[in-house]
């Protein structure tokens, strides 16, 4: 029975109708019960107060390794991977992560299967099985995860910051673990890693260190019975939360300038100060206040000045890494080449802004404005998937008192200038750590971080040096931001007299098409507007695509100082290029949304190229394209598959070749041509009335099409663009082999794609059901048993309404040719499992898929994404889920088997496959061998992507019809 049911009033959002209850079981397990009668998914998260800070000396990564192992099996459920299989086959997902102080385990599942899923989950914390065989295999999985991260700059720089700290402090530790720390070194010391793992579990995992969140459709009393019956057997050894006193950075780790070499092109500054953790003063929000000001991007801000000088392209400020005992306040600046040359001036300006904050004092009106914004954001927050919600709340439970488990530190409400001043005083030259990243330091480093091999050098930097930099830095007009005019004050809901459950075509002209759906579900004062600009001249060459990219980025750049205030106030916008033009999206509180939208349209209509900004954005775009060669091999394989399958797409290598010769004048000449023929497709949804939606479209048309000198004219019938996909040859296996882009990356990758059909309701559900049944079996065989690689996944793939299956695997264990063979062996093995599946299992999987399809959208954005995909693809099946459920109810087991035998099984008559094989440095020799193998009668070796693409037939397009005619 529960021994504690302290009546605590948990602070929750104004719009939150869920019920909450805190209980403490007899074994001291603290639990939050959440009842949501409207939910379609149930979820649970167990947060254990044991992380990698607790790793024993010489066994780096043990806590992370335990996280991997706990999922395998338990005494009550001994079948290996049975938990994951059960979750997947009942419409759910599961995952876990290890942080410094905590390890979090979580899952979600369809409502009807929650009790059994919860029982399986609970057993991991009661009597887990850690078999010797599984232990050895999972060490390889941990090592594969480590190899995946080796060339990620974020991981490398994070570990370097830890490395330059007190060796005796747990902050210094290597968190992930690898083959060396979990196998070679322990064996050399005579340690049995499995015994160490079991001992670690027994010593560290105690109910007193655990916090559980259970989210269910049932009422609170029923959830409590469920929890008591399943979790009270967890052992309680009365362990108390581990504390890690002392600062990780002593004087020798402060006042330092660290020059380091990243993997990717670009220059970054990370300016870091140890500060008092905000957790200790979460109601006063000192780091939020300072981050809001130092990270501001409006006129007079640090970023505005750096941007005007052409020295920076982005800036973030706020509490970075945070722990109970210590924390770091970080300012991260992406520098241009010119900014890199003026690094000392950039640092000088940063400290000038900090002095401005010191001299201005802590401003109550700024705190009050920030507090009001945070309160509005909290009260009107969107519902998120239960699995994300339980993780968020469980992670808060150890840190905050029960009444603040939901709100956490997201709503500072107590103005205390002394606390803010205390943190501000820490942002001083004698307390700073500066990390400066650039490829230009490759020849000047003299040290190497041991775990990721990051090259660096370190120098002392005195407070007087920084004072000198401040004195030499430009004398710019830095000042505090003004009041935010975008703060919404009208949260009234617009009740529509008509019940519109699906998007309707509200208006269609030669200029635009308007789809509309008022909010009839979420009762939130928010709206969503997306405008798709279809511009044939924007996508007819690599050069045109680059210019369109430059245009959208410059437009975002021009809008920033005005629209940043809107963003702070909960209005978000984006402008980005697409394969047929560009897209404008505005989402957030509807009260002042139209002001922002009209400003964006005005900027498009009056766009002028500013040469100094063009040069900066061109530099950013060039580095972005150059850095594509450092993408992970699996990302490269995905990219190649899209390039082969999607017509009218251009390779980034051509775009990179075009860039150097482009000047501002080219964009000036291109823009009128791009906009000269344009068609708009809009989707307006949320707390907006029909008349408002029509008025918005009319305003846009007036600005772009009906002015004295119209910027745009409608498309000719022949110009309506289509999204078309290559139709692979029936009965053929297509192969494309390519070397990895980064010679330093040992990983290889495979995309094994099976193309099946063009959008058709009955075929869709057959494919989806097969993918649901096979997904976990593929993961278990290829990842858990064969240990091919950490990234191993079977998923559906849809390209503009063309449906297929896709295996995605990244590996250092085998080359892509061998992995391809393993995929085919899996399909042969799975064939017998599918044919032997019981009728009961078949029905169970069908019901799970039906439950997934009937799952309601959580929020307006999720609903809009679903409907916009239908509009964007041209399929416009807004009742897709209901019609697919109806088809599923008619589907027989034999029809599923016939589908597999006809389209998926090895040697199937109508099977069409495409294998993209990316060869990493470990398998370079196999590249030549595989590429030169004689082609089999039913195989096609793709030598040149574009010659192949031009030679193939295309599926008809759902998109781009004119006058109701499909092309």
Pair 769, 853: CB distance under 8 Å: no
Dihedral-angle region of residue 190 (phi above 0 means left; psi in -120 to 50 means alpha; beta otherwise): left
The span from the CA of 464 to the CA of 387, in Å, is 51
For residue 509, the number of C-alpha atoms closer than 13 Å in the C-beta half-sphere is: 14
Phi first, then psi, for residue 463 (nearest 5°) are -60, -35
The span from the CA of 444 to the CA of 319, in Å, is 31
Parallel, antiparallel or unpaired: strands 433-437 and 256-260: parallel
Question: Which 8-state DSSP code applies to residue 26?
Answer: T
The pair of structure tokens assigned to 246 is 């002392």
Q: How far is CA 272 from CA 249, 269, 275, 436, in A?
A: 11, 10, 9, 11
Question: What are the residues whose beta carbons fall under 8 Å from the beta carbon of 798, sequence distance 6 or more?
Answer: 804
Pair 11, 406: CB distance under 8 Å: yes
The pair of structure tokens assigned to 183 is 């196998």
The span from the CA of 748 to the CA of 920, in Å, is 4
The pair of structure tokens assigned to 105 is 């385990």
The pair of structure tokens assigned to 611 is 């040469």
Pair 678, 533: CB distance under 8 Å: yes
831 tagged catalytic: no
For the chain, give the longest Cα–Cα distance: 85
Pair 330, 319: CB distance under 8 Å: yes
Distance of CA 162 to the CA centre of its chain: 24
Identified catalytic residue from 67, 369, 543, 681:
67
The span from the CA of 49 to the CA of 540, in Å, is 56
67 tagged catalytic: yes
Closest CA to 563 of 575, 554, 571: 571
Phi first, then psi, for residue 913 (nearest 5°) are -125, 155
Pair 637, 808: CB distance under 8 Å: yes
Q: What angle do CA 484, 485, 487 make, to 5 degrees?
A: 75
3-state secondary structure 388-432: HHHHHHHHHHCCCCHHHCCCCCCCCCCCCHHHHHHHHHHCCHHHC
Q: Which residues of 226-255 are buried (b: 16+ CB within 10 A; e: fewer)?
A: bbbebbbebebeebeeeebeeebbeeebbb
The 571-578 sheet, strands edge to edge: 504-508, 512-518, 679-686, 526-534, 581-589, 571-578
Q: Please, what sign has the CA dihedral across residues 881, 884, 888, 889?
A: positive
Residue 965 burial (CB count, 10 A): 9
3-state secondary structure 278-292: HHHHCCCCHHHHHHH
Identified catalytic residue from 138, 183, 369, 863:
138
Q: Which helix (H) or strand (E) holds 84?
A: helix 82-89
Pair 752, 807: CB distance under 8 Å: yes
CA-derived radius of gyration, the chain: 29
Q: Which residues participate in catalysis according to the annotation?
A: 67, 138
């Amino acid at each position: 029975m529960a021994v504690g049911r302290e009546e605590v009033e948990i602070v929750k959002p104004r719009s939150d109708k869920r019920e909450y209850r805190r209980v403490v079981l007899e074994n001291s397990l603290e639990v939050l019960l959440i009842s949501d009668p409207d939910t379609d998914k149930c979820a649970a998260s167990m947060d254990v107060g044991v992380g990698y800070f607790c790793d024993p000396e010489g066994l780096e990564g043990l806590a992370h390794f335990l996280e991997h192992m706990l999922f395998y099996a338990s005494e009550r459920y001994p079948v290996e991977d049975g938990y994951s299989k059960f979750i997947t086959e009942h419409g759910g997902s599961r995952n876990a992560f290890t942080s410094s102080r905590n390890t979090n385990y979580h899952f979600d599942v369809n409502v009807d299967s929650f009790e059994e899923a919860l029982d399986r989950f609970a057993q991991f914390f009661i009597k887990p099985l850690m078999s010797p065989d599984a232990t050895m295999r999972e060490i390889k999985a941990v090592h594969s995860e480590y190899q995946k991260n080796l060339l990620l700059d974020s991981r490398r720089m994070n570990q370097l910051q830890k490395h330059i700290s007190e060796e005796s402090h747990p902050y210094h530790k290597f968190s992930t673990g690898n083959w060396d720390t979990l196998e070679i070194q322990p064996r050399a010391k005579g340690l049995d890693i499995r015994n160490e793992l079991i001992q670690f579990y027994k010593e560290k995992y105690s109910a007193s260190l655990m916090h559980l969140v259970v989210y269910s459709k049932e009422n609170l009393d029923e959830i409590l019975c469920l929890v008591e019956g399943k979790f009270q057997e967890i052992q309680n050894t009365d362990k108390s939360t581990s504390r890690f006193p002392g600062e990780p950075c002593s004087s020798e780790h402060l006042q330092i300038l660290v020059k380091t070499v990243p993997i990717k092109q670009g220059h970054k500054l990370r300016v870091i100060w140890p500060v008092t953790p905000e957790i200790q003063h979460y109601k006063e929000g000192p780091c939020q206040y300072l981050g809001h000001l130092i990270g501001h991007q409006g006129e007079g801000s640090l970023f505005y000045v750096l941007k005007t000088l052409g020295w920076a392209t982005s800036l973030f400020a706020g509490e970075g890494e945070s722990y109970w005992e210590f924390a770091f306040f970080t300012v991260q600046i992406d520098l241009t080449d010119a900014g890199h040359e003026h690094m000392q001036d950039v640092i000088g300006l940063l400290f000038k802004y900090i002095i401005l904050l010191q001299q201005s004092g802590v401003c109550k009106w700024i705190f009050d404005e920030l507090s009001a914004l945070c309160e509005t954001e909290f009260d009107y927050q969107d519902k998120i998937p239960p699995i994300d919600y339980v993780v968020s709340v469980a992670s808060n439970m150890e840190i905050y008192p029960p009444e603040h488990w939901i709100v956490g530190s997201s709503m500072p409400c107590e103005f205390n200038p002394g606390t803010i001043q205390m943190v501000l005083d820490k942002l001083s030259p004698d307390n700073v750590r500066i990390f400066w990243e650039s490829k230009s330091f490759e020849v000047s480093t003299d040290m190497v971080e041991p775990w990721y091999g990051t090259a660096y050098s370190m120098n002392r930097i005195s407070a007087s040096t920084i004072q000198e930099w401040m004195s030499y830095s430009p004398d710019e007009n830095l000042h505090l931001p003004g009041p935010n005019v975008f703060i919404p004050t009208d949260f009234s809901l617009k009740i529509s007299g008509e019940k519109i459950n699906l998007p309707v075509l509200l208006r269609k002209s030669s200029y635009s098409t308007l789809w509309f759906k008022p909010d009839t579900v979420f009762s939130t004062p928010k709206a969503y507007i997306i405008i798709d600009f279809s511009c044939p001249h924007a996508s007819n060459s690599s050069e045109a695509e680059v210019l369109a990219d430059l245009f959208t980025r410059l437009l975002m750049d021009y809008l920033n100082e005005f629209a940043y205030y809107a963003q702070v106030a909960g209005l978000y916008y984006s402008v980005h290029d697409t394969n047929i033009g560009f897209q404008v999206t505005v989402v957030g509180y509807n009260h002042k949304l139209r002001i922002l939208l009209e400003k964006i349209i005005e900027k498009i209509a009056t766009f002028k190229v500013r040469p100094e900004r063009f040069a900066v954005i061109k530099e950013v775009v060039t580095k972005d394209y150059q850095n594509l060669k450092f993408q992970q091999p699996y990302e490269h394989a995905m990219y190649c598959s899209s390039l082969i399958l999607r017509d009218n797409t251009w390779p980034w290598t051509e775009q990179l070749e075009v860039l150097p010769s482009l000047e501002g004048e080219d964009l000036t000449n291109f823009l009128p041509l791009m906009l000269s023929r344009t068609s708009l497709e809009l989707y307006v949804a949320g707390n907006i009335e029909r008349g408002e939606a029509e008025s918005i479209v009319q305003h846009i048309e007036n600005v772009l099409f009906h002015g004295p000198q119209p910027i745009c004219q409608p498309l000719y019938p022949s110009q309506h663009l289509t999204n078309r996909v290559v139709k692979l040859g029936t009965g053929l296996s297509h192969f494309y082999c390519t070397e990895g882009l980064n010679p330093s990356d040992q990983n290889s990758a495979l995309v094994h794609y099976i193309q099946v059909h063009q959008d058709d309701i009955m075929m869709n559900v057959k494919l989806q059901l097969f993918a649901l049944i096979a997904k976990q079996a593929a993961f278990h065989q290829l990842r858990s048993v064969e240990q091919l690689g950490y990234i191993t996944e079977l998923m559906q793939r849809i390209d503009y309404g063309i449906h297929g299956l896709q295996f995605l695997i990244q590996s250092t264990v085998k080359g892509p040719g061998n992995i391809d063979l393993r995929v085919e062996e899996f399909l042969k093995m799975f064939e017998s499992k599918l044919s032997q599946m019981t009728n009961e299992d078949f029905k169970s999987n069908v019901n799970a898929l039906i439950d997934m399809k009937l799952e309601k959208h959580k929020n307006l954005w999720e609903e809009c994404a679903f409907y916009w995909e239908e509009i964007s693809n041209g399929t416009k099946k807004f009742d897709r889920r209901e019609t697919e459920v109806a088809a599923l109810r008619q589907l027989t087991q034999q029809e599923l088997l016939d589908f597999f035998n006809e389209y998926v099984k090895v040697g199937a008559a109508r099977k069409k496959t495409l294998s993209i094989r990316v060869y990493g440095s470990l398998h370079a020799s196999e590249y030549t061998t595989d590429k030169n193998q004689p082609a089999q009668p039913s195989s096609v070796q793709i030598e040149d992507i574009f010659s192949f693409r031009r030679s193939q037939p295309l599926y008809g397009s759902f998109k781009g019809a004119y006058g109701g005619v499909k092309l």
